[in-house]
Amino acid sequence: MTDKRQTAALIVHEPKFFDATSLQIPTLRILREDGTLYPGASLPEIDQTLALKIYDTFLFIRALDERLLASQRQGRISFYMTETGEEAADIGSTAALADDDMIMAQYREQGALAFRGFTPDQFMNQLFSNEKDLGKGRQMPIHYGSSELHYMTVSSTLGTQLPHATGYAFALKAQQKPNCVLCFFGEGAASEGDFHAALNMAGVFKVPVIFFCRNNGYAISTPAHEQYAGDGIAPRGVGYGLKTIRVDGNDVFAVLKATQEARKLAVEQHQPVLIEAMTYRLGAHSSSDDPSGYRNKSEEDTWRAKCPVMRLKNWLIHQHWWDEEQDSQRKQFHRDAIVAAMKKAEKLPAPPLNDLFTDVYDTLPWHLKEQQAELVSHLRKYPDAYPKSAGRLGDE
């Protein structure tokens, strides 16, 4: 039998070693900071309706992040993570998908969910874990999920969504569905074993998945240069047999165009793709983090000048599709809607305790039936020891 590895390879007769400089992947840029296009650059598939929807989602997320971070500081919610500075990455890529393509998020992609129509009420219900929370209070704040919007529930465990994405895409291929999976992760998650397993399987089985790396320079406080010695994450895609591209993650047009092309490869050719978006989180890693301990203001200011929201706003104004008055009005609209939804959500009771035992098994196993009975008995024996809302069993 002929060894394909030998016949397909370029043969040499003297040793030649390769290093990170042997493969340097360029960065796609289309939109300048002033809202004009780079010379020779062309727009993605976009019209006025889509451009305004993307920008409106930008404004909504900025308002949401501002209000919810303040609420965490006030003790109204326990935890929050902003995506300030990274909006172009998840919103721009989501805009390139079909509505029924699956999204598997890490934890900083609330913009993708908002673009698909997740309402202020739904965001607040999850954050306050009330009885209308789609997750029934089982998740900490920002671990969103919506089967209706094809957005897989977020997991705190870093990188687990990567092999899930490959498996889900394998099923799409087996069922011959014209869809793909878009899987978000950070460059820190690319240090997890799940990353390598997922990309290898995707490359071998040629499944319709787009792995989207938000390389924001830090895995919490660990800078990129302490995570890897190579040329970022993109070359790893090449190594695993994936089509690969690197984009300016603060340029929504570069993100949109790359993902539009990536989706065609994934759906029409069952060719997995890796997109590395070079971006920066202007805020802290989370409400539990203080970035002043590991980066300086000068660095933040450099990236603040590359703001994805301002870039798109400038472009829209150049097109005469937007103006400052509209901008102010729309920002205030989102602030008001978010505050109204918050006031409503925090007054709603917690989910009934019976929800602890539902939605996992088709038929409740014996040991959980025993636990359920013990809980009911305990609450009836000590009704005054718990808040009234905690005692709601849902079947009474």
**Position with higher pLDDT, 393 vs 90:** 90
Q: What is the pLDDT of residues 181-228, one digit of tens each?
A: 999 999 999 999 999 999 999 999 999 999 999 999 999 999 999 999
Of the listed ranges 228-232, 290-294, 299-303, 342-346, the least confidently predicted one is 228-232
Q: Per 3-state DSSP, what percentage of the chain is helix, strand, and coil (rounded to 5)?
A: 45, 10, 45
Q: Is residue 46 classed as helix, strand or coil in its secondary structure?
A: coil
**pLDDT band at 384, cuts 50/70/90?**
confident
The DSSP H or E segment spanning 123 is helix 120-128
Where do runs of H (alpha helix) occur along 215-323? 234-239, 252-269, 297-304, 308-318
pLDDT for 23 equals 76
Share of the chain above pLDDT 70, in %: 95
Task: Give me the helix-helix angle, 161-174 and 193-205, nearest 10°.
Answer: 20
96 pLDDT above the threshold of 80: yes
Interval 119-158: pLDDT, tens:
999 999 999 999 999 999 999 999 999 999 999 999 999 9
Question: Would you state the pLDDT for residue 379?
Answer: 86
Residue 389 pLDDT:
60
- Determine the Cα–Cα distance for residues 112 and 161; give it in Å rounded to an integer: 16
Q: For 154, phi and psi rounded to 5 degrees?
A: -70, 145
Helix (H) or strand (E) holding 181: strand 181-186
Give the chain's mean pLDDT: 94
Domain spans, the chain: 24-289+296-345, 353-391
> 24-289+296-345 adopts what CATH topology?
Rossmann fold (3.40.50)
| pLDDT average, residue stretch 258-286 | 97
Give me the pLDDT at residue 396, please.
47
Secondary structure element (H or E) that encloses residue 28, with its range? strand 27-28
**Measured on CA atoms in the order 291, 151, 361, 395, is the torsion positive or negative?**
positive
60-75 pLDDT, tens digit per residue, is 999 999 999 999 999 9
- Whether the pLDDT of residue 393 is over 90: the answer is no
Mean pLDDT for 307-320 is 98
Q: Residue written as tokens 């360029």? A: 26
**Using alpha carbons only, what angle is made at residue 214 by residues 212 and 218, rounded to the nearest 5 degrees?**
150
Distances (CA, A) of 199 to 114, 216, 350: 28, 20, 40
- Nearest CA to 138 out of 303, 354, 319, 297 is that of 354
Which pLDDT score, from 0 to 100, does residue 8 have? 59
Q: What is the DSSP letter of 154?
A: P
Residue 36: pLDDT band (50, 70, 90) is: very high
